[in-house]
Amino acid sequence: MKNSVLVTGGAGYIGSHVVQQLVTRGERVVVIDNLSTGFRDAVCGAELVVGNVGDRALVARLLREHHVEAVMHFAAHTVVPESVSDPLKYYGNNTCNTHRLLACCAAAGVGRFIFSSAAAVYGVTDNGIADEGTPTQPINPYGASKLMSETILRDFCATGAMRHITLRYFNVAGCDPLGRIGQSTPHATLLIRVACEHAVGKRASLSIFGTDYDTPDGTGIRDYIHVDDLASAHLRALDHLRDGGESLTLNCGYGHGYSVREVIDAVQRVGGQPSSVVELPRRAGDTPILIARSDRLKQNLDWQPQYDDLDFIVRTALLWEKQLARKSAPLASASRA
């Protein structure tokens, strides 16, 4: 049997885009996802096993039966405000389950591991820019849970039992350019998704959390990366490890940012609809500016972005949101009948 790649959380937003690219290039892929925020129909061309990544017996069986040679680990809770209000949920699911997964990998002799981390590990930087050497000082439990997982993974790999790539995501946005899969998670908090929901009428208004930051227009600035560019970085990471490359920690971003107001303007421009904006106080756990230095990603993995354009990112997100609205329209009509 051909060796396979196990993708945890592969029915979720980012994981499903990675699975799609893996399958397209002929990889054998098995997905484990508890479908708490993922969707069965987002997994295309791969076997989906519904279950929890913290279930050691299940994970051990999958690693053995599918001859898994590499793991890509996406399964995690990711909502920053929720992590502030319920930190134990984040440490339990994000950190403790990563430990359990690694223990299973160690027992099965899996030698390659790609970890989905986040720019939240940096916290507030001196100038709003982070490279991989920037001190890690997370300001919310989500970022702390990711940093703890990074540490566990680093220390285990230092024994020589495994090599890994840790990818620190900045703000992931957009959807498959062909509209096959996208971001469907309800109660989304990511700005571009929320703004597109507003553009198609799912939200009555659009909130800006914080207008008094020390930025040109007073709103927070983030580095947005298209989900397909991020997915391609995972495939390049897998190739690097297969070629015998060393363990690495790499930022995933474009190296420049947009403010909240600039993003809202882009959604208005692409969607052709004015936005109803409500200005609110800052949210706990948010940083004023966070932009990636991602030179190491390009140099070490020979990665080049294809979709570094805010309007294109918004266009793909809006295309998917319109598809979701069309699917839900008949259900809404039936419920009113």
Element (H, E) at 156: helix 141-157
CA 329-330-335 angle, 5° bins: 100
Q: How far is CA 265 from the centre of its chain?
A: 24
Is residue 301 within 8 A of residue 233, CB to CB? The reply is yes
Q: Indicate which residue of 142, 213, 224, 307 is catalytic.
A: 142
The 3-state DSSP class for residue 145 equals helix
User: How many Å apart are CA 250 and CA 44, to the nearest integer?
Assistant: 28
User: How many Å apart are CA 292 and CA 311, to the nearest integer?
Assistant: 20
User: How many Å apart are CA 22 and CA 181, to the nearest integer?
Assistant: 14
Element (H, E) at 136: none
User: How many Å apart are CA 235 and CA 7, to the nearest integer?
Assistant: 12
- Does residue 213 carry a catalytic annotation? no
The 3-state DSSP class for residue 41 equals helix
Query: From its phi and psi, is residue 30 left (phi > 0), alpha (psi between -120 and 50) or beta?
Result: beta
Q: Which two tokens stand for residue 165?
A: 């790539």
User: How many Å apart are CA 250 and CA 133, to the nearest integer?
Assistant: 10
Is residue 175 within 8 A of residue 182, CB to CB? The reply is yes
Using CB atoms within 10 A of its CB, is residue 198 exposed (0-12), middle (13-18) or buried (19+)?
A: buried
Active site residues: 142
